[in-house]
């Protein structure tokens, strides 16, 4: 999996942008806009971590190719992860999730959000 380090404020590096998606692509058309925001942030030189939680893990069923394209176009500046509890609740196998990113427990997401230099946008 690709890894991204947290930038430190004042070092001239861009902050790590943590984007948390909790909605499925079937719920709302603006979920696709959230992926476009990730692309724009990457184009601006930011490192991006896209974390799928709750119904957001349904991206793995609906359009995993969009996630793969985001990762392949990022030159190693994007990390994709998803929530293990959300996967279990929606019957998505761990091996499918691990093909596209890391599987995290919720406490790991909270620790990432609290990281120095991390800017979080939670789409709900």
Residue 13's pLDDT is what?
65
Residues 81, 52 contacting (CB under 8 angstroms): yes
Residues 48, 74 contacting (CB under 8 angstroms): yes
- DSSP E strands, 1-124: 16-21, 47-52, 78-83, 102-104, 118-123
Domains in the chain: boundaries: 21-123
Q: Could you tell me the pTM of the whole model?
A: 0.83
* Block mean pLDDT (10 aa), the chain, length 124: 39 78 81 86 92 92 83 83 95 91 92 93 87
Residues 2, 103 contacting (CB under 8 angstroms): no
Cβ neighbours around 79 below 10 Å, total: 21
CATH class, range 21-123 = alpha beta
Residue 4's pLDDT is what?
41
Residue 21's pLDDT is what?
92
Residue 74's pLDDT is what?
75
Residue 61's pLDDT is what?
87
Residue 84's pLDDT is what?
94
Cα–Cα distance, 18 to 2 (Å, whole number): 15
Residue 19's pLDDT is what?
95
């Amino acid at each position: 999996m690709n890894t991204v380090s947290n930038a430190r404020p004042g070092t001239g590096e861009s902050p790590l942008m943590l984007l948390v998606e909790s909605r499925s692509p079937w719920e709302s058309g603006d979920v696709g806009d959230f992926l476009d925001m990730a692309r724009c942030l990457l184009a601006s030189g930011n490192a991006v971590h896209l974390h799928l939680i709750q119904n957001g893990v349904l991206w793995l069923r609906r359009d995993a190719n969009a996630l793969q394209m985001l990762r392949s176009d990022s030159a190693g500046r994007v990390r994709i992860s998803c929530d293990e509890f959300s996967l279990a609740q929606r019957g998505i196998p761990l091996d499918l999730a691990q093909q596209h990113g890391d599987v995290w427990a919720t406490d790991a997401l909270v620790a990432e959000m609290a990281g120095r230099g991390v800017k979080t946008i939670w789409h709900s």
